[in-house]
Amino acid sequence: MDKPQVTSAICGLFCDACGIYLATTEEPDRLAKIASAKETVPDDVRCLGCRSDVLYPHCRTCRMKACATQRGLDYCSLCPGYPCDVLRDFQVQKPHRITLFESLEDIRDHGETAWRARMETEYRCTSCGTMNQIYDPDCRHCGHVPPNPYAGRFRVEIEAGK
């Protein structure tokens, strides 16, 4: 397996569609609002992906990343103990993690490149192609509803889990 891309998270999340990542790379005003809500400065909440040196505070203390790194694994699904309780607990906490196990098994069985291609389709607006997080009600570029296929498929769960 090739070296994973910096935005392919160890736990199976697709950092490219993370609201923090998108704010860091494309939306400085949104990043400033996030920082203000956290009572800090934008530099303290920036993130360039799970495997980067610039991590959101929550990601800096990721137990799954620490475990996989200690074991020399690129992804949780490559571990003999997969899926562990830590990963199960993480998966059920937020709607953007609903397909976490599906993603990890896709990476394991078909490789990161195929998985990333599927994620590109899942998180891009079907109208204009803009990458969107799932928690926005519409596309941040063209206003299309839903902002991406994932958000359309899991709208009920997203609304309930906010």
Per-residue pLDDT tens for 68-123?
999 999 999 999 999 999 999 999 999 999 999 999 999 999 999 999 999 999 99
Q: Check residue 1 and give its pLDDT.
A: 57
In this predicted structure, the answer to whether residue 162 has a pLDDT above a threshold of 80 is: no
Q: CA geometry: angle at 17 spanning 129 and 161, to 5°?
A: 115
pLDDT tens digits, one per residue of 139-158 = 999 999 999 999 999 999 99
Distance CA 138, CA 77 (A): 32
Using DSSP, state whether 2 is helix, strand or coil. Answer: coil
Q: And the tokens for 120?
A: 């590109």
Cβ contacts of residue 86 below 8 Å, gap of 6+? 63, 64, 67
If one counts every other C-beta atom within 10 angstroms of the C-beta of residue 140, the result is 19
Closest CA to 151 of 126, 128, 117: 126
Domain range summary for the chain, segments of one domain joined by +? 15-161
Residue with tokens 């069985």: 109
Supply 149's token pair: 């296929």
Q: pTM, whole model, 2 decimals?
A: 0.94
